[in-house]
C-alpha cells in the first residue's frame, strides 16, 4: 500500500490565469460547488493501493477536504519545499505517491494502474502521456510537449518517489530545477550528446531513463499511461470550463 501526497500549495501566483476566483490557491477553485482538490482526494480515497493521504496546502479548508485526508501540513510557499517536507514526513516509506491538486478528472483506477506499473525497486517513477491521446481528449489543448525518438509526450501529474534515495540529493534536485533553462549546466549533467539529441528529437526514452538513473543513483522509470486525465492539469479559464463540462456530464 502507498502513502499519497497531494500538493495543494502554490498561493495566489497559481491563480493569475483565472477570473473571479476569490480563493487562496488553485486547488481551492470551485468546480460545481466543490473545491477542485476534493475531486482528487475522492479518487485517492477510492484507489485500492492507497491507504493514507497527506495534504500540503492552505489549512483553512472546508470539511469536504479535511475529512478525506489523514495528515495535513501547511504550504511552504514553493513546490520544491513542499515536496521535500512531504518526503521528510514519509521518510521511512520505501516509495511514496505524489500528485498535484489540479487534476480533478483523475480516477481511482488510473491511480491504481499507474502504481501497478511502477517498479518496486525504482527510486523515481514519472508518468507521461502521448500527444495524440491528449488532443483526442481535448482538441483545443495548448500543452507543452517533449519530442523524443518515440514521438511527442506531455508529462503526467502522478509520480512515485523513494524518500530515502531522493532526500540526500535535495540540493542537486533544487539545482536542476533552478538551472533547467541553463543549457551549459544541463549539458554537464546529462552529457552534451544527450542534450544535442534531445534538441533534435532523436534521444530515446530509455536513454533519458538511463541518464536519470545515473544522476539519482537508483532506477528511474518513465511510465507511459493512456489516460490524458492524469496529464490534464487545470492551468487557465478555458481548461477550467472544459473540466466543469466533463464533470457536469458525469454527474448525470
Q: Are 124 and 166 in contact (CB under 8 A)?
A: yes
Place of cell 500540503: 56
CA distance 216 to 213: 5
CA distance 2 to 20: 37
Which cell numbers in the block locate residue 78?
Answer: 514553493
- Residue 142 burial (CB count, 10 A): 9
Mean pLDDT of the chain: 88
What confidence score (pLDDT) does residue 109 get?
98
Q: Are 77 and 206 in contact (CB under 8 A)?
A: no
What confidence score (pLDDT) does residue 252 get?
43
At 4-40, the pLDDT tens digits run 999 987 655 556 666 656 777 788 888 898 899 999 9
Place of cell 488553485: 26
What confidence score (pLDDT) does residue 47 get?
98
What confidence score (pLDDT) does residue 174 get?
82
61 vs 241, residue with greater confidence: 241
What confidence score (pLDDT) does residue 14 get?
58
What confidence score (pLDDT) does residue 20 get?
59
At 131-189, the pLDDT tens digits run 999 999 888 777 888 899 999 999 999 999 999 999 999 888 888 777 666 767 777 78
pLDDT-derived band at 218 (thresholds 50, 70, 90) equals very high
CA distance 202 to 218: 24
Residues 6+ apart with CB under 8 A from 182: none
At 66-94, the pLDDT tens digits run 888 999 999 888 888 999 999 999 999 99
Comparing CA positions, the residue from 13, 179, 17, 158 lying closest to residue 96 is 158
What confidence score (pLDDT) does residue 176 get?
75
What domains, with CATH codes, occur in the chain? 2-129+154-167+217-250 (3.90.550.10)
CA distance 166 to 174: 11
63 vs 53, residue with greater confidence: 53
Locate the DSSP E strands across the chain: 2-7, 30-31, 34-35, 50-57, 71-74, 96-100, 124-130, 146-148, 151-161, 220-225
CA distance 86 to 5: 7
Say which DSSP state 13 is in: G
Amino acid at each position: 500500500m502507498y502513502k499519497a501526497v497531494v500538493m495543494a500549495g502554490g498561493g495566489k501566483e497559481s491563480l493569475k490565469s483565472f477570473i473571479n476566483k476569490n480563493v487562496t490557491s488553485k486547488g481551492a477553485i470551485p468546480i460545481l460547488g466543490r473545491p477542485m482538490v476534493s475531486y482528487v482526494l475522492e479518487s485517492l480515497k477510492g484507489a485500492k493501493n492507497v491507504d493514507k493521504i497527506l495534504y500540503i496546502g492552505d489549512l483553512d479548508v472546508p470539511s469536504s477536504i479535511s475529512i478525506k485526508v489523514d495528515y495535513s501540513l501547511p504550504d511552504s510557499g514553493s513546490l520544491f519545499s513542499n515536496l521535500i517536507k512531504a518526503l521528510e514526513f514519509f521518510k521511512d516509506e520505501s516509495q511514496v505517491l505524489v500528485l498535484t491538486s489540479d487534476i480533478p478528472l483523475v480516477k481511482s483506477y488510473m491511480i491504481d494502474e499507474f502504481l501497478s506499473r511502477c517498479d518496486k525497486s525504482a527510486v523515481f517513477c514519472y508518468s507521461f502521456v502521448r500527444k495524440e491521446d491528449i488532443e483526442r481528449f481535448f482538441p483545443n489543448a495548448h500543452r507543452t510537449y517533449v519530442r523524443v525518438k518515440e514521438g511527442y509526450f506531455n508529462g503526467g501529474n502522478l509520480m512515485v518517489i523513494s524518500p530515502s534515495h531522493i532526500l540526500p540529493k535535495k540540493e542537486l534536485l533544487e539545482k536542476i530545477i533552478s538551472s533547467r533553462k541553463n543549457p551549459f549546466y544541463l549539458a554537464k549533467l546529462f552529457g552534451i550528446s544527450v542534450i544535442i539529441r534531445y534538441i533534435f528529437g532523436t534521444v530515446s526514452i530509455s536513454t533519458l531513463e538511463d541518464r536519470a538513473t545515473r544522476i539519482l543513483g537508483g532506477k528511474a522509470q518513465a511510465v507511459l499511461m493512456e489516460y490524458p486525465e492524469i496529464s490534464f492539469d487545470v492551468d487557465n479559464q478555458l481548461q477550467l470550463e472544459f473540466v466543469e463540462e466533463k464533470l457536469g456530464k458525469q454527474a448525470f
